[in-house]
């Protein structure tokens, strides 16, 4: 069975607020391209951007679509920068990509009860991604710390998924595409 490629063009934007300005760009998928994906939530994909092969995870934009973070390395390989329109061919990934675990969560998991680590390693990459996103979507450091502690406790109790977490961001808007920087030139 061959994968159905989703083909589209999208403009790269620079995020308005980023501690590392200039290190990444992003694009928002057209709604018709996003609608062809298997999930409104985070979705692992593989494909090409301007002909360069890559794998990534699309994030929900809170508008029933997705956005893609394009790091500097991928942007340079694709020969594109903020303001450019790029051509993409994507398909859902054959295998889910492992999410990057933030340092504070990684340390908490290492210090947690063995049951916590067992459940964490047994859940799917998508479930781990949900836990990570729930933690990192906290706006205040105290909330993030509390969520890490609660996550370890819930995992130790055998809980495999974050309760009441809207993976699409459509209802609570905790998930959204970054705001694009505006140029006043």
Rounded percentage of the chain residues whose pLDDT exceeds 90:
59
**What integer pLDDT is reported at residue 38 of this predicted model?**
82
Q: Does residue 147 register a pLDDT over 60?
A: yes
What is the average pLDDT score of the chain? 87
Dist CA 110 CA 139 (whole Å): 24
Report the C-alpha gap between 31 and 123 in whole angstroms: 30
Alpha-carbon distance of 152 to 134, in angstroms, equals 13
pLDDT reported for residue 184:
41
Question: CB 37: neighbour CB atoms within 10 A?
Answer: 18
Quickly tell me which residue has 């009860």 as its tokens: 113
What average pLDDT score do residues 158-176 get? 69
Q: Are 120 and 106 in contact (CB under 8 A)?
A: no
CA 71 to each of CA 12, 85, 92, 132: distance values in angstroms, whole numbers, following the listed order: 11, 16, 20, 19
Per-residue tokens: 49: 């951007």
CA dist., res. 45 & res. 67, Å (int): 12
- Which residues touch 73 (CB under 8 Å, ≥6 apart)? none
């Amino acid at each position: 069975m061959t994968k159905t490629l989703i083909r589209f063009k999208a403009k790269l934007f620079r995020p308005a607020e980023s501690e590392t300005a200039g290190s990444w760009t992003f694009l928002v998928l057209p709604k018709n391209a996003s609608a062809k994906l298997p999930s409104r939530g985070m979705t692992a994909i593989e494909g090409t951007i301007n002909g360069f092969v890559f794998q990534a995870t699309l994030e929900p934009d809170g508008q029933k679509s997705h956005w893609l973070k394009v790091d500097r390395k991928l942007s340079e390989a694709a020969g594109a920068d903020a303001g450019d329109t790029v051509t993409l061919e994507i398909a859902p990934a054959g295998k889910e990509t492992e999410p990057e675990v933030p340092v504070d969560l990684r340390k908490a998991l290492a210090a947690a009860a063995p049951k916590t680590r067992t459940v964490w390693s047994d859940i799917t990459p998508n479930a781990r991604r949900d836990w990570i996103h729930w933690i990192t979507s906290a706006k205040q450091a105290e909330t993030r710390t509390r969520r890490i502690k609660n996550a370890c406790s819930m995992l130790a109790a055998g809980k495999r998924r974050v309760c009441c977490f809207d993976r699409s961001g459509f209802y609570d808007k905790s998930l959204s595409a970054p705001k694009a920087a505006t140029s006043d030139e």
